Amino acid sequence: MATAPQQVTTLSQISPAVRDWVAEVAGHTKPDRVHWCDGSDEEFQVLRQELVSDGELLTLNPQTHPGCHLYRSHPSDVARVEHLTFVCTTSQADAGPNNHWLSPPDAHRRMDALFNGCMRGRTLYVVPYCMGPLQSPSSRCGVEITDSAYVVLNMHLMTRMGRPALERIARDGSFVKGLHSTGDLNPERRFIMHFPEELSIKSFGSGYGGNALLGKKCHALRIASWQARQEGWLAEHMLIVGVENPAGETHYLACAFPSACGKTNLAMLIPPLAYKGWKIWTLGDDIAWLHPGKDGRLWAINPESGYFGVVPGTNAKTNRNAYEMIQHDTLYTNVALTADQQPWWEGLESGQPVVDWQGRPYDSKRGPAAHPNARFTVAATQNPGYSPLAESAAGVPISALVFGGRRRELAPLVYQARDWSHGVLVGASVASETTAAAVGEVGVVRRDPMAMKPFCGYNFADYWAHWLSFPTRATKLPHIFHVNWFRRDKAGTFLWPGFGDNLRVLRWIIDRSAGRAAANETAIGFLPKPEDIDVSGLDVSLPTMQELLAVDPALWRQEMKDLGEYLRTFGARLPPKLMEEHKKVLERLG
Ligand code: SAT
Ligand code: MN
C-alpha cells in the first residue's frame, strides 16, 4: 500500500500543492498512517477485505450475489443533511437565500477545531480523482482526504480515481480540496462546508453518500456550479440519456429531477414491448456538465463513473437493467437481508427479510426492512445500456433539456417552454414532494428550482441570470420541457404508468425538438393534444389523457402567484428578465 505519493507515480508527476496540503492536513488531524490511493483493482479488493475482517462490511451470498457487500451506516446517518450544509462565501449575498451561510473565517475555525487530532488511531486516505473522462478538457480534478475506507471504495466506483487523476492534477495545476472525516458520527458535530472562492470543502461527522463522497454533490454540483458561472458553462443535477429510434437516429436529453424522483430509472429506461428497435443509452444518472460547443449546441459530459442509486422499488419490472446490474460487484448500503444473506428491500417482489437494515431481527412493526434511502453503489460499466460515448472527451450534443418534479396535482404530464428565457422560468418553478434522500419530512411540496435547491453553490438569483445569459453563448440551444410522471387522481392513484412508458413522452419531446410534432399553444407553453402521445397497448383512457394534459387557469394563476412570491424573496439581485417572463405567463392566463 502506498504510504507516499512517489509510490503511486514518479515524483515529476506529483503536484507539490497536493503533497504540501496532505502534509498540512496530516499534521493537523494526526492519523496513525497515510495511504495514497493508486485506484487499482488490487487496492479496492484489499481495502474491501480489511473492512470485511473488521466487521464493517458483510459479504453477501456469493452464489446469488458474487462480489456484493453490505454496509450499515449509523442509524442517525442515512441521508443528506441540508440543514447542516453551508456555502461559505466572503459576502453572504453571494451564497444567497437558498444556502445556509457562515463567513469563511468562522467556518474554518469551527471545522478546524473538529478536525484537530480527529484521525488519531486511523488511516488517512488520499484520494485523487477526476470528475469526467480523464482526457476531457471539460473534466475537473480534486483530492479527497478521508479517514473512511468505505468512502474510498465508493469513490473508486463513482469517480476516475487514483494514479491517472494524480498525474492530471500535476498537469492542470489546480484541484478541489476536499477534507472529510467521519468523526464520532455525532449529529451535533456534523457539518458539510463549502468554500467556493477557495475551491475547497470540509465535511465532518457523516459517512453517508452526498455528505461524504465529496466528488459528487459537494464538488460536481456546489463547487462546480460556482466555477461554471465564472467560466461560462453549467453544472446541473441532470441525468443524460440517449434515445435511439428504429431508424438509428439518436437524440441526447439532459433531465433534472430532485433526488429520489426516478433519474436512475429514466436514464436506464427499458422501452415498452411495442417499441421494437428503440434503444436507450445511459450517459449518466445524476449530474451533467454542459458546455457550449463550437457548433453552437450544448454538449454534456457526466462527471461521474458510477451510480449511487436508490435501492427500494428496484425490480425486474421497474428497471430490469438496474436490477441485473446490481446482482454482482455491488456495494449495498442499508438494505435488509434474507435468511441466506441475500440483499432484500421493499419492492423486490421475491424473498423474505429476516434482518433489517440496522442488523436487527426484522419486525414489520418497526417500519420497512430496508431503509427507504438504501443505496447501491456500482460502476457505470455494469449497466447493459452504458453508452460508449460516456468516455468521449467532447461529450454528447443535447437535443432537449427536461425539468420535472414529483407533483400529485397541477403540473401536466409534459409541456414545452416557449423559448429559452421562458424555459429558465419553467426550470425555476420546479416544485416537488420531498423524499427520503434528505433528512426531514417526506412528501411536502417545496420549490426546488432546476432540482438544484440543495446543490447550487451560489445565489439562485445569480444562477438564473447565468442561465438567461446562454443565448449569447450558444446559438443552437436545446428546447426546454417540463414533465410530471407523478400525477394522481382524487383517490391517490397514479394517472400515468411511468417507468418504461415514459419513452412515449420522450418521443414527443424529441419530435418537437426535431420540428416534426404538433402542439397546442397554451398560457403555460406548448402541450401535446391527447392523440399526440402514443398510448397504444396502454390502459390509459382518453379522459385520463385529457386530465394529464389539462391546464386549469385558476389553479395556474394561483401557482404563478406563489411562484412570484417565492422569486421575490431573492430581492434586488433577481434578473428582471425572469420577472418579465413571469408577468407574461400571468398575462396569458388572463
Ligand atoms: O446522498 S446523495 O446526495 O449522494 C444522493 C442524492 O440525494 O441524490
Ligand atoms: Mn442526485
What is the position in ligand 1's atom list of the atom closest to the CA of 213?
A: 4
**Is 380 within 8 Å of 282 (Cβ atoms)?**
yes
Is the pLDDT confidence value at 369 over 80?
A: yes
Task: Say if residue 187's pLDDT is above 80.
Answer: yes
Q: Give the model's pLDDT for residue 260.
A: 86
- First-to-last alpha carbon distance for the chain, in angstroms, is 69
Helix axes 16-29, 104-115, angle to 10 degrees: 60
Report the nearest-CA residue for atom 4 of ligand 1.
Answer: 210
Cα angle at 331 between 325 and 333, to 5 degrees?
115
pLDDT digits (tens, 9 = 90+) for 411-456: 999 999 999 999 999 999 999 999 998 999 998 989 999 999 999 9
Residue nearest to atom 8 of ligand 1 (CA): 259
Q: Is the overall model pTM greater than 0.95, yes or no?
A: yes
pLDDT at residue 487, as a whole number: 96
- Give the CA dihedral 549, 482, 239, 178, nearest 10 degrees: -140
* Nearest ligand 1 atom to alpha carbon 308: 4
Ligand 1 neighbour 530 (Cβ under 6 A)? no
pLDDT for residue 1: 76
Name the residue with the closest Cα to ligand 1, atom 5: 210
Q: What is the mean pLDDT of the segment spanning 81-107? A: 98
At a CB cut-off of 8 Å and minimum separation 6, what does 120 contact?
30, 31, 32
Number of C-beta neighbours around residue 223 at 10 A: 28
Out of 73, 78, 80, mutate this one to test ligand 1's pocket (max ligand atoms within 8 Å of CB): namely: 80
Q: 459 is written with which cell numbers? A: 445565489
Kindly tell me if the per-residue pLDDT of 533 is higher than 80: yes
Q: What is the pLDDT of residues 543-573, one digit of tens each?
A: 999 999 999 999 999 999 999 999 999 999 9
Cell numbers 395556474 correspond to: 556
Which pLDDT score is estimated for 400?
A: 98
Residue 261 falls in the annotated catalytic set: yes
How far is the C-alpha of 147 from the C-alpha of 28, rounded, in Å?
13
pLDDT tens digits, 127-166: 999 999 999 999 999 999 999 999 999 999 999 999 999 9
Work out the burial of residue 327: count CB atoms within 10 Å of its CB; fewer than 13 is exposed, 13-18 middle, 19 or more buried: middle
Nearest CA to ligand 1 atom 3: 210
Determine phi and psi for 426, rounding to 5 degrees: -60, -45
Within 8 A by CB and 6+ apart from 490, the residues are none
Ligand 1 in reach of 308 Cβ (< 6 A):
yes
Catalytic residue among 130, 141, 261, 456: 261
Q: What's the whole-number average pLDDT of the chain? A: 97
